[in-house]
Every structure is written in C-alpha cells, then in structure tokens.
Amino acid sequence: MNDHDEDATAGQLSGHERRRLQTSRLVQYFLLQAVIAGACVLALLQSLPGPPAQYQVTAFKLSEAGVERAVTLPYFSPLRNAMNDPPRFTGQFVRPAGEASQAWSVFLQRFTNGVEVTVNDVVILDSRRDPAANRPDRNTPQIAVIPASVLHDGENTISIRLFIWGPITGFLDRIWVGPDELLRPSYDLRTLIFVTLPVVFSSWQAILAVILGIMWVMRRHEPAYGVLAAAMAVGVGQAFLQTPMGGATPLSKLNVVLISSAPIESALVVTFTLLFAGWKWQGYGWILFVPGTLLALAGLFGNQALVRALFLVLAVPMVGISLVIMAVVTARSTLQRPNVAGLLLGCAVTIMLTCWIADLLSVFQMTPNRIFVSRLSYSVMLVAIGAGLTWRFARALNQVDGFAGRLVTQVREAEEKLKASFAREEERARAAALARERTRLMRDLHDGLGGQLVSIVALSERGNGSAGIGEAARAALKDLRLVIDSMDDIGGDLMLALGSWRERAMAQLRPHDIALDWRAGTAQGLPVHPELRPWHVIQIVRLLDEAVTNAVKHANARRITVRIETLAGSDGLARGCITVEDDGKGFEIMPDGAAAGAIKAARGLRNMRSRAARCGAELELSSCAQGDHQGTRVRLTLPHRFPDSDGAAG
Amino acid sequence: MNSLNDEPKVEAITVVLLEDDAPTLWRLQDALTKAGCQVRAAGTLAEARACLAQGAPRVLLTDLQLPDGHGVDLIRETRRRFPDTEIMVISILGDEESVISAITVGATGYLLKDAFPTDIAATVRDLVAGHSPISASIARFIVRRTQNTPEPPPGPALNTAKLTPREIDILWGIAKGFSYAEIASHLGLSRQTVPGHIKNIYRKLEVHTRGEAVFEAVQQGLIKL
C-alpha cells in the first residue's frame, strides 16, 4: 500500500524534484549503512575478556618442520597442512603448593585446525574428537581438566601438537593453565557466542526454511520464497553436518559437497534478493551457481584436499561477490520503493559485508587475531529475513482487515441504497398501479356511465320541466371528472388538482353569471406535500365545491374570490391556506358552528367540517349578513403534514 | 374556454359534426346552429366522410367511439386532406386518454359533451380565431411526460422532445390553474402570445406522416443517408 502511495507521489513530482528526492534518499541510506558498518568495526575491535593474566602461559618452545625455536603465543604457522608432523609447542607452568585440592584446567581459546594437549606426558585433550572444533570457520574454544594425578606441585610441562589440514594456515591463540573455576567463565562465554548461538541460529534457519517452504508451496507465483527456503535448507545442512575426517565413502563425499555448499547458499540468497527486488529470472542467472557447482563436482570426483583448496579461491570470493551484489540490489530497490523489509535486508547485508572483510583480513593475518565472524553475522541476515517476513505478513493482515472493513462499509452502503431504491421502486410501482387502475376506470366510465349521463343532460335540455334532472346529471358528470382527476399522480402538488377544479368551477359558474376571482399569490402557490393521497384531494376539492355551491344556491352571490396562499404558521412551518369568499347575503352562524336557517345549508356546513377534519385541515367559517363585508368566507388551512389514515372517518 | 368571444360573426363557420349519440348530436347541433354556424351533422364515420366529400369545413367536431370505427382515423384523414380545417374532439370527461390520442393525430382542441350551449359556440369560435383550448389535466399530462421517468406512465404514447422550456413552463402554469394573463406575467410574456404557444404545443405533439418522420430523423441525425 505504502509502496504504491510513494510511487504515486513520485509520479506527481517534476523530474528535478524527483532527482533531488532520490539524492536525499541515497545520502540518507548510505549514511545509515556507514553508521552500521562503523558500529560493526567497533564491536569487532572489542576483545573478549580472558581469564586472569597470571595463569597465561606464553613462552613456548616450538618444534616445527624439524626446526626448534622459542615463540610466544599467539602464533601464526605458515603451514597449510601438517597432519603427520604437526608443530609441537612445549612450555612450563607452575602450580603453587597447596592448591592440589583445586581442579586445574587447560583453556585454549582459539586454534586452527586441531590440537592435542599433553600435560606431563599424559594426553588430556584431543580436539579432533569434537566435530564442532574441527570447523575452522567456527571459533570453538576448548577446555580440559588436568587429572589430579598427573599434576604435581611446582613446575609442570605442557605440550601442544597443532594439526593443520587447511584450507587456511595453522594458528594457535594464547592458552591458560590454572584453576578450573577461574578459566571456565571465559570458556563458557566463548562457547555461548561461538558454539551455542550458531546452533540456535541454525535452528532458527531450519524453522525459516520450513516457513518459507510452506509459503512457496501456497504461493507458487512468488518463487522468491522458494529460493530463500532452499538457501535456508542448504544453510541448515551445512551447520549440522560434521567435517569429514579421514575415510572416503560415497556418503562422506556427499558430506563434503554439502559442507562446502556456502557458494550455492550465497547464490540462492542473491537470487532471492534479486527476485525480491522485482527482478525477473534470466538464463544468465545460472552464472551465480557456477562456483558452487564446481566445488560440488570437486567434492564428488576429487578429494578433500582439492575441495579445501578450491573452497578458498571459489567459495570465499563468491560469498563476497554475493554480498556486494546484494548490497547494490537492496540499496537500489530500497531507494526506489522505500519499504521496511528491503531496508532491514540492506542493513543486514552491510553488517555481513563488514564481517566478511574482517574475516578476509584475519585470513591474510592482517589482524592480530583469528576470530571468524561471517557465519555469526549471517544470523543478522536470518533475523532480518524473519523480521521482514513478519512485517509483510502483518501488513498483509492489516490490508485484509482494511479491505474487509471497507467491504463491510460498502456492503452496508449498497444495502441502504438498495433499500432506498426498493422503497422508491415500490412507491413507483404503487403509483403505476394506481395510474393503470385510473386509466381502466376512466375507459369504463367513458364507455358507460359517462355517455349515459351526457345523454341525460342532452335529453333533459330538450324536454321542459326536467331541469332538475339535467342539473343532477351534470353534477354527476362533474363528480365523475373529480374522481378520475383526483386519482391522477400530481406529485403532492395540490395546485395541480386546484387547476382542474378552477376549470370545473368556472364552467359551473358561467351560466349563473357569477365571476370567479382567482388569486394565487405566487407561481408556486401551495407547499408540496409528498404524502398527499387521492382521498385527501377528493375531500379538499369537494369541500371547495361545497363552498362554491353554497354561494351559488343560497347566497345569491355575484362574485366568488378564491385566494391561495402559503402562510408561515406560529410553529414556523409553512402551511397552505385556501379561502373561498363570496359577496352574497351571508347567514348567521350559531354558537355551535352550524348555520341558522336552512337545514340543507346546515348539513352542507357540517359536511365541510367533517371533510376538513379528515384531512387534518382547519376550517374557519365566517359570515356577515349586513354591512360592507357582507358575504361568507370559508377559510381552509391545510396541515403541515396530511394524515396517513382517514382519522375522522365516518 | 378561457375567453368568451362576443364579437358579431362576420362569416358563417362551416362545421362537420360527428356524434353517434343522437340526443348529444342534437344538443351540439342546436348550440352551434344557434350561434350561426353551418352544421353538417353525421352519426357514423361513413356519413362524416360523405359530408367531408362535399368540401373542406372550417371545423371538424368528432366523437371518438363510433359505431363503424374510431374518430382518430377520421381526424388523421382530415388533417391530411384539409390542413386548414380545425379539428376538435368531443369528449365526455375531457380526459387525456381521448384528448391526447386525438391531439397526436392532428386535433387542436377538445369539447366537453355536457358543455353549456354558449360555451360550445364560444369554444368553436375561439378555435377558429386560433385559440386552442387546453385543460389543466391535459397540460398536466403533457408536462408529466416531459419529465424523465424510467418507465413511461400509462396512457397514450406522446413524444414531448420538441417542446421548448418556455412551452413547458406555460403548460405548468395551465396545469396549476393560472389564467393566460397570470402565466404571461409570471413568464414575462405578452398575454396575446399565450394561445399561439398552445397551438404550437399541439402541433408539436402531432405525430407526422412517415415521410415527415424520416425527414425529421435525418434532421436530428438519427438516420444517415
């Protein structure tokens, strides 16, 4: 995720800015690597604490290749192979009287390749029996308790034979002879660092091999993991196999091949690094495996000496070259796409490279000691790989979580949209069904009842004295039109229903010579009520019809004024208001709201009230029988929201 | 419908009246004759065609449901043969079902069957003067068709693509019951131009002959020649 973001950011920058950013990253990266290398060097310069100096035996008489001379330890032998006539160091040490109760030991902190220690002509230690000690790349210390019977107070003789079998020259570091309890802490420390820790790391390597192997099996499209798993497996084989001594069997040859597989291991790790950095495998990639293959062939068909000789010229440089390639590749990939895994790998490579150079200097005797740290520093690489893997895994998990979270949100949003759309669809379907029903009803009425009513009107006009019938038929037609009209979808805009009502009212008033004064305040007229239903419309229109009919029949009016307004109510909500006013003779309204006088008019008023109540509207009636303001006024204030159900039905 | 024309008639308006219901026919004929029109009455499509064969009337008034066919066919024929004849449909309810289907074949007005005699004559005279009547419910139906809805509402098919925004505004005004004067003042128009707009609207809603349809398709880039 971050990688892509970085790329996107980089993509938006201008070329110049991008170069500057790259340079700054490059400088930062190299400064960090320099600091790490410097810290490494400082750490390597620290010598491990040794036992008390008083027990150190330094002066020896060396008998090497038939020549005898006095030497002080540490001693670098020029020989690469001395098995039959090994260099022999002979020295003296004093055990003070009265210390017989204490166990004394000989402590050798470092030697290549093997030692045989003799005290007073009794052999007390042969390191060749210890496989770990036979590996020149490990800095295995040795300690041996001198049997009490061999030791005696005063001067004792110690003699050491140094066996050398290559591939590097022989070396014997300082030795101590003294009370075991004083020597052992130093020995334990060295064993911990140079023997136990590598075993721990090798176990870790084995676990990594398994994890990476599984990873590769599950994700075949990422061969980098498979290559790294192979590298780890080769490394584990190397660590736990023993250096073959002597006898040549087919199995021992395989053993030789495996134990000298460092170049193959480094080639695999380099391949991993390249693949990890996004490199595609090319045919010439096999070049990386040439040194390892040569060494393996030498192991299968040659002898151990050849393998050892070749190891020095093939394996050691191969490891160095691999480290340099890895350093360059990780640096490049980390600079291009900064990521934690790449950075960790880069730092590990820097540490390993520093240690490899230190080892090389040590081999060429340019340092006063011979501690090999390359193999140990490889553990840093293992830690980096483990950390990088875990980091990637955690990040992938986070991404999955984020993805899942996004998915949940999206699904919820989609669900809500779907619900809303479903509700809309339902509403639309309802409206469509109503419209279809209306169309059907309209056709039916048109073909049947409507035509018959028209005929009645026509017939009544021809005959005499049947004006009442004609009027009734006309009223029936008018009501029919109202019913059909009110079923039409007017989208909650009552003005659309009033528009048709105005036409019908004008047609009704024209023969009576009554003027209809229509006063709609604004172009909008009334608020829109999405909850408006056909039955609301019918109630309101019939109420208005009643008002107009009253004005025509009972008030003897000349002019009817319809006023349509939108008023801001006391609660701040806009409410529609329709007023029907006439200039007729008016009537007295009784305290109970009913009209005095005609029973018919009273019933009309009661009807109007009932219709208003059903729609949740307020009806206000005022009438004045005398004076300038003679006439009747019906004022209908619409609710802010029309009721869903016919609350005051009946 | 909206204005009562009381001017003395200069020339008798010739009317062909087609209505199958006898009482209604007499009633309409009476009203028109009293208003000074020359009426040729017919009860069937065949009779009406015979009347039309005598020459082009100024106005054709026709019912839709007829014993020997549908009035729509007669309207279409008349529109083709006599482009100057004003055609009006006689409707019981003034509903869009009948009126719109008549408009799409060339009618430019409608008359309610139970209209009062004075209104009948006034409507015919207005039509001849170029004032097409339009009801609020018809206007409402047309403007609803101009709104984009996923599925067409039920009722007769209607193509409103050619209507201008101004014409749609006028239809909205009519649908809401405003008078021509009120619409004119709301829209900043002259009151006299509103009837002309309405006639235009009717004309634009008319489905033309095939030849014209092809011509229009080419004009609108729907067909490439």
Per-residue model confidence as pLDDT tens digits over B169-208 = 998 888 888 888 888 888 888 888 888 888 888 888 887 6
Q: Check CB contact of B133 with chain A, cutoff 8 Å.
A: no
For residue B149, the Cα-to-chain-centroid distance in whole angstroms is 26
CB–CB of B136 and A442 under 8 A?
no
- Location of each CATH 3.30.565.10 domain in chain A: 492-650
Torsion angle of alpha carbons A302, A305, A307, A311, nearest 10°?
Answer: -160
Question: What does the pLDDT look like over A598-638, one tens digit per residue?
Answer: 566 677 788 888 888 888 888 888 887 776 677 888 999 98
Q: Which two tokens stand for residue B59?
A: 């106005």
B27 CB neighbours in chain A (<8 A) are 457-458, 461-462
Q: Check CB contact of B5 with chain A, cutoff 8 Å.
A: no
Where helices occur in A261-339 by DSSP H, the ranges are: 262-276, 290-301, 304-310, 316-336
Q: Are A110 and A76 in contact (CB under 8 A)?
A: no
Average pLDDT, chain B: 81
Q: Which segment of A206-215, A248-257, A610-619 scores lowest on mean pLDDT?
A: A248-257
> What number is the average pLDDT over the span A336-348?
85
Q: Are B7 and B53 in contact (CB under 8 A)?
A: no
Distance CA A483, CA A588 (A): 33
Q: CATH fold of B14-128, please? A: Rossmann fold (3.40.50)
Tell me which of A452, A454, A516, A563 to substitute to probe the interface with B (most B C-beta atoms closer than 10 Å): A454
Q: Are B92 and B85 in contact (CB under 8 A)?
A: no
pTM for the model stands at 0.55
With 80 as the cut, is the pLDDT of residue B87 above it?
A: yes
Confidence of residue A36 (pLDDT cuts 50, 70, 90): very high
A518 CB neighbours in chain B (<8 A) are 177-179, 182
> What number is the average pLDDT over the span A116-143?
85
DSSP letter for each residue of A364-417: TT-SS-----HHHHHHHHHHHHHHHHHHHHHHHHHHHHHHHHHHHHHHHHHHHH
Question: What does the pLDDT look like over A296-312, one tens digit per residue?
Answer: 888 888 777 787 788 88
Average pLDDT, chain A: 83
Confidence of residue A107 (pLDDT cuts 50, 70, 90): very high
Return the CATH superfamily for domain A55-191: Galactose-binding domain-like (2.60.120.260)
A287's CB contacts (< 8 A; 6+ apart) are: none
Distance CA A351, CA A333 (A): 18
DSSP B8: P
Which residue, among A299, A301, A306, A354, has the nearest Cα to A327 in the 3D structure? A354
Tell me which of B17, B32, B93 to substitute to probe the interface with A (most A C-beta atoms closer than 10 Å): B93
Amino acid B215: pLDDT: 54
Q: Are B90 and B19 in contact (CB under 8 A)?
A: yes
Return the CATH superfamily for domain A492-650: Histidine kinase-like ATPase, C-terminal domain (3.30.565.10)
Residue B136: HSE in the Cβ half-sphere, 13 Å Cα cutoff = 26
> Strand runs (DSSP E) across A83-231, as ranges?
88-95, 104-108, 111-112, 114-119, 122-126, 142-146, 154-165, 171-172, 175-179
Which residue, among A431, A439, A42, A274, has the nearest Cα to B100 in the 3D structure? A439
Strand order in the sheet with A104-108: A56-57, A175-179, A104-108, A142-146
Percent of residues, chain A, with pLDDT higher than 90: 12
Phi, psi of A87 (to 5 degrees): -60, 140
Tell me which of B25, B30, B140 to substitute to probe the interface with A (most A C-beta atoms closer than 10 Å): B140
DSSP B48: H
Q: Check CB contact of B26 with chain A, cutoff 8 Å.
A: yes
Confidence of residue A409 (pLDDT cuts 50, 70, 90): very high
Domain residue ranges of chain B, discontinuous segments joined by +: 14-128, 136-219
A477 CB neighbours in chain B (<8 A) are 92-93, 114
The ipTM value here is 0.78
1.10.3720.10, 3.30.360.10, 3.55.40.20, 1.10.10.10: CATH of B136-219: 1.10.10.10
Q: Check CB contact of B115 with chain A, cutoff 8 Å.
A: yes
Amino acid A410: pLDDT: 92
More confident residue, A528 or A586: A528
> What number is the average pLDDT over the span B114-138?
85
Site of tokens 């053993």: A255
